[in-house]
Chains A and B, each alone.
Chain A
């Protein structure tokens, strides 16, 4: 049990402390940091998916007035470490995916840089490529582990025998497409290279972790960590794509070495982001469930095919949630990766759980129908009292409470059989799915507490990517110090502040909060309640004694009402409700926004999102916001999120478990299950679009 905080500010719906700045547009994002006399960088991207650059003609670009430099692999500064091939920018003539950086132009204005980049002529020795994930690909292999360090496959009991003898079976394949994070703020960086300054490289970056960017980039550039400063106080969304540095970070650092000390500014275009900023792998999920006639699972099998890149492995942990979700004596999960000539997949909101809870949660809906059971009752009957994999006790598992609370609030009792409810021109149905996400903390963060000017400066190199860190970490610090929030001056987003873990895995508040609590307690121990000006204490995140003995996970129930137009097949999610068990809620206002934001992205995943990779060319062809659809305001109708009033003392001193990602998990399955209930048409491939229904709808003449 962790030593729990006594609460005063925690639990209050404090309005965002950065709110006034943001509503005026005055909070400076990376590209908006004030710098003098900048030059602008525009990338040149490969137009083949595999091959070698045989020549680059930069003459016309160089000749343009206002062009400062044209970088290519022939003239770019050498990197010290090219072992991470995603970051080995302009170091060789090799092209490993279409859209890879093969050059860049530095110019006095962005207009000149863009124009000059279009004048660079690159010729290639093009080689055959394969960019298509399919189950008969010859590119498959079994990785040593899946992210971050889970076993690739698990096999308990005898799944095949149990399936063969099961009274009820579901055996189906589900797919999720390539999806792109698409934060509203593009990936942007300003780099200043000054070998004689305090820092050789100063990088204003849009990132989920200044310290992790520094740690990754310093060795690539041959610099000591202390030679690099990364600053990122405000971030226009990330959803994972800004969780690790990508090639553009290296490019801007290379360019800054060629601009004679002038700051180099780079903003990827929206189109460029589709090749250069990571994406969620497509998945092909073969799910088999076996059960007795009472709906008790006897076998669960979840076999996943997904992709990675030839230049770097990224193994999405798609089937990992299946290992803990439901009880069954016979369970198997597996992952196969196809190494394709594509950009490296990367983190996207709830990696693993988001795609991995789609197949199984639709399969559970199919199983409920096959058993003649209510889908909620099916889940209740298979709720395990311990982690089915390692047998650890749950720190808390209240999935059933979430389902029952949600059923009451949502009016689940009014659910009808598939295809039986029509309102005007619309067929209406409801669906449910479970949600889960692990409660994680990443070790290694440090925080400094200093008393100055009658207030407590609390410094930690953490990030706020819209999650609310500026506000919620202030609340935690206030309670840890036993002072009002006004007495706390939080500082984040700068490597000049103590080291902090990346904003990822919904771990930010657990990690940084635990760290700030430890530093505050150490400060009070050292300096008491009446400190002198300048008193300060720094402390690191303590080890959670319960982390290894308990299975710490959040749970949720996702409900959706869906309308499908009886003629055109148009589909809308008219109502969504999420009920979550996520431990203590630090700030109900920002927490509700996180849950609803996740659910909105889940709705978007369910109905809209799909990156289309053209197998002939190798790139995503619908690479902008007009063609890659994310939900608009009109798509989000009646949506609400709520949570169980609880605390998880095994998680951390705040009793919280992290809320940034669970909102998206299961949402797409709930929508898919509702669409089935509305129409009787089972869609197993995302996104669920009008064309899936239209052929099955009236009118049929005669």
Chain B
């Protein structure tokens, strides 16, 4: 761990100015990912600007019927908030599927969005990784890639984004409020994270010094019927192999509207737009769900050890949609 200076931010604009003006500076919030990375030698800032005590910790209804979440709202508090539990159960479920009680008490909303991949080669400074060191090569493509991407990957990087919360927020169509040196901007969450392309070192579109200050959830009455299913290698406290966040609005047995996002399959939370399109207006049922899921996964490209993710993602989508549609009993 390299030595660094530490200072507590007095206000958001000051924090942004400080980090913007110093290439080696970084924001510190809950620390659950950054402190981990300091120890692993993945991150080596020379200054940490602690934003965790800035008063950006409110969960508030917005005039349009949505909810605004301050960046410093802890994951556990967000999951437990009555507005979220009632209006966006998928978000509560996704948050509670992530990490552990202790980590959720420390991790913040903005920090959760900006957590970095769990690719074992990214986390090990003794192995080549294009994300850590552009041009070094990707060790995962021909290595241990059981957890890696099947959608949207590139020849330079096959890492996946590890957040559960972000998958639910992506399904909900959230926006991210970002403060930069030039002022505030609002970015659709679906555009916050990048696909790796030929610059896998960049996880997001944020510029150095930009600070997430809030996440805004749009009003979405259909989200009252929403759920999150995370498939993982143990029952708790593990990252997703595949996860599905979905909300379903039925008119009789016709799909009026649907929202689906996938986790564990790509470098970013994956909005299943193609499946959504196919399902809107379709008759809810196993057949339509399978067809939509398969259409979404048509573009999947698998590696040596992650081929199972395609049937797993398909089946998980189907299982979640069946549940939301109230279908029980055996598939036939």
| Direct contact between the two chains A and B in their complex (CB within 8 A) | yes
Residues of A within 8 A of B (CB): 47, 111, 114-115, 118, 422, 424-425, 565-570, 572, 607-608, 612, 614, 616-617, 619, 621-624, 626-627, 629, 631-635, 689-691, 694-695, 697-699, 701
Nearest-CB residue, chain A, relative to B99 = A626
Q: Please, which residues of chain A bring their CB within 8 A of the CB of B126?
A: 47, 617, 619
Taking the complex as formed, is B274 at the interface, i.e. its CB lies under 8 A from any CB of chain A?
Answer: no
Q: Please, which residues of chain A bring their CB within 8 A of the CB of B234?
A: 607-608, 629, 631-632, 634-635
Taking the complex as formed, is B290 at the interface, i.e. its CB lies under 8 A from any CB of chain A?
Answer: yes
Chain B count of residues within 8 A CB distance of the other chain: 46
Q: Are B311 and A695 in contact (CB under 8 A)?
A: yes
Quick one: which of A572, A607, A617, A632 contacts B127, CB cutoff 8 A?
A617
Contacting residues of chain B (270-320) with chain A, CB-CB under 8 angstroms: 286-287, 289-291, 294, 308, 311-312, 314-316, 318-319
Q: Are A690 and B331 in contact (CB under 8 A)?
A: no
Taking the complex as formed, is B64 at the interface, i.e. its CB lies under 8 A from any CB of chain A?
Answer: no
Q: Are B120 and A568 in contact (CB under 8 A)?
A: no
Q: Are B231 and A114 in contact (CB under 8 A)?
A: no
A607 to B124, CA, bound (A): 25
A553 to B315, CA, bound (A): 47
A570 to B233, CA, bound (A): 8
Q: Please, which residues of chain A bring their CB within 8 A of the CB of B121?
A: 621
Q: Please, which residues of chain B bring their CB within 8 A of the CB of A424?
A: 328
Q: Are A622 and B120 in contact (CB under 8 A)?
A: yes
Q: Please, which residues of chain B bring their CB within 8 A of the CB of A631?
A: 234
Q: Known: A118-B41, A614-B144. Contact between A633 and B239, CB under 8 A?
A: no
Taking the complex as formed, is B1 at the interface, i.e. its CB lies under 8 A from any CB of chain A?
Answer: yes
Type the 1/0 row for B229-242, where 1 means its CB is closer than 8 Å to any CB of A.
10111111111011
Q: Are B239 and A621 in contact (CB under 8 A)?
A: no
A111 to B144, CA, bound (A): 31
Contacting residues of chain B (236-259) with chain A, CB-CB under 8 angstroms: 236-239, 241-242
Q: Please, which residues of chain A bring their CB within 8 A of the CB of B290?
A: 699, 701
Q: Are A572 and B308 in contact (CB under 8 A)?
A: no
Q: Please, which residues of chain B bring their CB within 8 A of the CB of A566?
A: 330-331
Can you list 25 A-B contacts (CB < 8 A)?
A: A111-B1, A118-B41, A567-B319, A568-B316, A569-B231, A569-B315, A608-B233, A612-B120, A614-B127, A616-B139, A621-B120, A621-B124, A622-B120, A623-B124, A626-B239, A629-B233, A629-B238, A634-B235, A635-B236, A689-B233, A694-B315, A699-B290, A699-B315, A699-B318, A701-B294
Taking the complex as formed, is B3 at the interface, i.e. its CB lies under 8 A from any CB of chain A?
Answer: yes
* Minimum CB–CB distance for B146 against chain A, Å: 8
Q: Please, which residues of chain B bring their CB within 8 A of the CB of A699?
A: 286, 289-290, 314-315, 318, 331
Quick one: which of B41, B120, B142, B289 contacts A627, CB cutoff 8 A?
B120
* Minimum CB–CB distance for A583 against chain B, Å: 34
8 closest A-B pairs by CB: A691-B308, A567-B319, A634-B236, A698-B331, A634-B235, A567-B315, A621-B120, A701-B290
A624 to B325, CA, bound (A): 40
Contacting residues of chain B (133-159) with chain A, CB-CB under 8 angstroms: 139, 142-144, 146
Q: Please, which residues of chain A bring their CB within 8 A of the CB of B124?
A: 621, 623
Taking the complex as formed, is B182 at the interface, i.e. its CB lies under 8 A from any CB of chain A?
Answer: no
Taking the complex as formed, is B53 at the interface, i.e. its CB lies under 8 A from any CB of chain A?
Answer: no
16 new A-B contacts, CB < 8 A, other than A115-B2, A632-B237, A701-B290, are A565-B319, A568-B231, A570-B232, A608-B234, A614-B139, A614-B144, A616-B142, A616-B143, A617-B127, A621-B121, A621-B124, A621-B144, A634-B237, A690-B312, A697-B311, A701-B287
Q: Are B118 and A633 in contact (CB under 8 A)?
A: no
Interface hub of A114, A425, A631 (most chain B Cβ within 10 A): A425
Q: Please, which residues of chain B bring their CB within 8 A of the CB of A568?
A: 229, 231, 242, 312, 315-316, 319
Contacting residues of chain B (78-121) with chain A, CB-CB under 8 angstroms: 118, 120-121
A691 to B287, CA, bound (A): 23
Quick one: which of B3, B144, B312 contacts A694, CB cutoff 8 A?
B312
A362 to B236, CA, bound (A): 28
Residues of B within 8 A of A (CB): 1-3, 39, 41, 118, 120-121, 123-124, 126-127, 139, 142-144, 146, 229, 231-239, 241-242, 286-287, 289-291, 294, 308, 311-312, 314-316, 318-319, 328, 330-331
Quick one: which of B3, B118, B123, B312 contacts A569, CB cutoff 8 A?
B312
Interface hub of A566, A633, A701 (most chain B Cβ within 10 A): A701
* Minimum CB–CB distance for A638 against chain B, Å: 13
A425 to B126, CA, bound (A): 43
Q: Please, which residues of chain B bring their CB within 8 A of the CB of A629?
A: 233-234, 238
Nearest-CB residue, chain A, relative to B242 = A568
Q: Known: A621-B127, A622-B120. Contact between A698 and B237, CB under 8 A?
A: no
Q: Are A425 and B1 in contact (CB under 8 A)?
A: no
Nearest-CB residue, chain B, relative to A633 = B236
Interface hub of B120, B143, B330 (most chain A Cβ within 10 A): B120
* Minimum CB–CB distance for B76 against chain A, Å: 17
A443 to B41, CA, bound (A): 48
Nearest-CB residue, chain A, relative to B309 = A691
Quick one: which of A114, A425, A691 contacts B319, CB cutoff 8 A?
A425
A477 to B319, CA, bound (A): 59
Nearest-CB residue, chain A, relative to B315 = A567
* Minimum CB–CB distance for B260 against chain A, Å: 15
A690 to B289, CA, bound (A): 21
Quick one: which of A614, A627, A635, A695 contacts B143, CB cutoff 8 A?
A614
Q: Are B315 and A697 in contact (CB under 8 A)?
A: yes
Nearest-CB residue, chain A, relative to B237 = A632
Nearest-CB residue, chain A, relative to B2 = A115
Q: Are B286 and A690 in contact (CB under 8 A)?
A: no
Q: Are A690 and B241 in contact (CB under 8 A)?
A: yes
* Minimum CB–CB distance for B316 against chain A, Å: 5
A690 to B309, CA, bound (A): 10
Q: Please, which residues of chain B bring their CB within 8 A of the CB of A627?
A: 118, 120
Nearest-CB residue, chain A, relative to B328 = A424
A632 to B319, CA, bound (A): 25
Q: Known: A114-B1, A627-B118, A701-B291. Contact between A694 and B308, CB under 8 A?
A: yes
* Minimum CB–CB distance for B74 against chain A, Å: 20
Q: Please, which residues of chain B bring their CB within 8 A of the CB of A572?
A: 235
Q: Are A690 and B231 in contact (CB under 8 A)?
A: yes
Q: Please, which residues of chain B bring their CB within 8 A of the CB of A697?
A: 311, 315
A449 to B1, CA, bound (A): 51
A690 to B242, CA, bound (A): 11
Q: Are B318 and A422 in contact (CB under 8 A)?
A: no
Q: Known: A629-B233, A632-B235, A632-B236. Contact between A612 and B312, CB under 8 A?
A: no
Interface hub of A422, A570, A616 (most chain B Cβ within 10 A): A570
Q: Are A698 and B315 in contact (CB under 8 A)?
A: yes
* Minimum CB–CB distance for A574 against chain B, Å: 10
Q: Please, which residues of chain B bring their CB within 8 A of the CB of A635?
A: 234-236
Q: Please, which residues of chain A bring their CB within 8 A of the CB of B308?
A: 569, 690-691, 694-695
Interface hub of B41, B126, B294, B330 (most chain A Cβ within 10 A): B126
A616 to B121, CA, bound (A): 12
Q: Please, which residues of chain A bring their CB within 8 A of the CB of B127?
A: 614, 617, 621
Q: Please, which residues of chain B bring their CB within 8 A of the CB of A617?
A: 126-127, 139
* Minimum CB–CB distance for A637 against chain B, Å: 9
Q: Please, which residues of chain B bring their CB within 8 A of the CB of A614?
A: 127, 139, 143-144
Q: Please, which residues of chain A bring their CB within 8 A of the CB of B319?
A: 425, 565, 567-568
Q: Please, which residues of chain B bring their CB within 8 A of the CB of A111?
A: 1
A617 to B142, CA, bound (A): 12
* Minimum CB–CB distance for B153 against chain A, Å: 18
A424 to B139, CA, bound (A): 41
Q: Please, which residues of chain A bring their CB within 8 A of the CB of B2?
A: 115
Nearest-CB residue, chain B, relative to A616 = B143
* Minimum CB–CB distance for B137 against chain A, Å: 11
Q: Please, which residues of chain B bring their CB within 8 A of the CB of A608?
A: 233-234
A689 to B238, CA, bound (A): 13
A698 to B322, CA, bound (A): 13
Nearest-CB residue, chain A, relative to B289 = A699
Q: Are A115 and B1 in contact (CB under 8 A)?
A: yes
A569 to B311, CA, bound (A): 10
* Minimum CB–CB distance for A126 against chain B, Å: 13
